[in-house]
Amino acid sequence: MKLLAIETSCDETGIAVLEQNGEEITVLANALASQVDIHKETGGVVPNVAAREHAKALPPLLKKVMTEANVTSLEIDAVAVTIGPGLEPALFQGVNLAKELAAKWRKPLLTINHLAGHVYSALLTPSEDLKQWSAAGSAFPALALIVSGGHTLLVKVNGHLQYKVLGSTLDDAAGEAFDKVARLLGLPYPGGPALSQLAAKGDPTKFSFPRPMKNSGDLNFSFSGLKTAVLYKLRDLKGVRNSRGSGTLSSEFLTPSLTADIAASFQAAVVDSLLTKVKRAAHETKPHTMLLAGGVAANTVLRVALQTLADKEKIPLRIAPLALCGDNAVMIGLVGLFMFAAGQTASIDKVEPQAGLKLC
């Protein structure tokens, strides 16, 4: 069984070819074209610009993976594509190509939920070079924390392709909060990596930022208040500065050490908020394993903190490999293989992008 997978939900164009033999999966080719440098100029992703870049990147990437995987279209058994959630114009590019290929090659089309992709990047076990993946060993029920630029979710995974969302963010996603606070601190897009690098040099106890919803009694999250708290803290500091008659808040005023302390204290608040709910969910659902995936799963402080919690709770933790925390087509292909095995194929003419698609 060989499968072509396409991902274009946001600002990464990904195409991969995967092969499955029983419980063993081989990544025959994996290509990714990042648009980060383009979106840096606007400080965020402009959907139509993302779509234009996907349209440019897809044809050469397709050629590249087919050559690298050393397969012809005749050898591909199915085409998998992310249909949502994501930016509609961006999704549209991948979905269109997938529909076109599935029709031309007369192969089944598999429509993949992007969030399921993130789940599978942590659920299955990769070899060190990320070329081989194994589905051996029961992980279910698993408790997954999916943290990305667009989503913050706690999901119970009862079996393959069986998801139950236990909680999610009521406003900003964790990654979005990182991006917005990074912007307040004058850091470049995408803010997460830049902010966490800076935070490594700061004191996480210097400022006490709120842990919104910590005691809400449910498994939901909220990060927009935290972002506002950082904004107010910056204003307070500016006020002190102003009362001394030293002018307005600027990057000049924000000394590198103060900025690092704010970054570290903000990051600590995000990680603490996430962990509080993971712990609560773990006690409620008694999972066999815990999973961590999504762009923010690249954050070292979060990875270490969740590992510490998992060790304490004696629950094995599987974290998505660093290279696959961000969006990619391998994770879409992994889900695709399981959907193919389950006979969950789609009717080509009915497939449309679904920007607001839910996991369940």
Interface residue list for ligand KG4 (CB under 6 A) = 10, 148-150, 175-176, 178-179, 190-193, 196, 294-296, 298-299, 326-327
**Measured between alpha carbons, how far is 29 from 6 in angstroms, rounded to an integer?**
12
**Measured between alpha carbons, how far is 54 from 14 in angstroms, rounded to an integer?**
9
Nearer to Zn ion, 230 or 325 (CB): 325
Q: How many amino acids of this chain bind Zn ion (CB under 5 A)?
A: 2
Contact positions with Zn ion (CB under 5 A) in 310-349: 327
Q: Does 148 bind Zn ion (CB under 5 A)?
A: yes
Helix/strand/coil for 74 = helix
Applying CB under 5 A, the span of 33-41, 148-156, 177-185, 262-270 interacting with Zn ion comes to 148-156
Nearer to ligand KG4, 104 or 201 (CB): 201
Closest CB 45 distance from Zn ion, rounded Å: 12
**Cis, bond preceding 47 (omega within 30 deg of 0):** no
Closest CB 239 distance from ligand KG4, rounded Å: 29
Q: Judge whether 39 and 46 are in contact, CB under 8 Å.
A: yes
Going from the C-alpha of 81 to that of each of 94, 178, 233, 253, the distances in angstroms are: 7, 28, 43, 47
The conformation of residue 238, written as its DSSP 8-state character, comes to H
Nearer to Zn ion, 14 or 167 (CB): 14
345 binds, among ligand KG4, Zn ion, none (CB under 5 to 8 A by kind): none
Closest CB 296 distance from ligand KG4, rounded Å: 4
Q: Judge whether 184 and 263 are in contact, CB under 8 Å.
A: no
Other beta carbons within 10 angstroms of residue 284's beta carbon come to 12
298 binds, among ligand KG4, Zn ion, none (CB under 5 to 8 A by kind): ligand KG4
192 binds, among Zn ion, ligand KG4, none (CB under 5 to 8 A by kind): ligand KG4
Closest CB 349 distance from Zn ion, rounded Å: 27
Nearer to ligand KG4, 126 or 191 (CB): 191
Nearer to Zn ion, 148 or 196 (CB): 148
Nearer to ligand KG4, 154 or 298 (CB): 298
Question: Tokens 């992008």 label which residue?
Answer: 353
Closest CB 146 distance from Zn ion, rounded Å: 8
In the bound state, the residue with its beta carbon closest to ligand KG4 is: 295
**Measured between alpha carbons, how far is 309 from 312 in angstroms, rounded to an integer?**
5
Closest CB 64 distance from ligand KG4, rounded Å: 21
Closest CB 115 distance from Zn ion, rounded Å: 8
**Measured between alpha carbons, how far is 163 from 113 in angstroms, rounded to an integer?**
11
Question: Tokens 């993302």 label which residue?
Answer: 50
289 binds, among ligand KG4, Zn ion, none (CB under 5 to 8 A by kind): none
Q: Judge whether 144 and 196 are in contact, CB under 8 Å.
A: no
Single-letter code of the amino acid located at 114:
H
Nearer to ligand KG4, 33 or 78 (CB): 33
Question: Tokens 């040099």 label which residue?
Answer: 201
**Cis, bond preceding 141 (omega within 30 deg of 0):** yes
User: Which of 34, 38, 82, 14 minimizes the C-alpha distance to 346?
Assistant: 82
Which residues are at the interface with Zn ion (CB under 5 A)? Answer: 148, 327
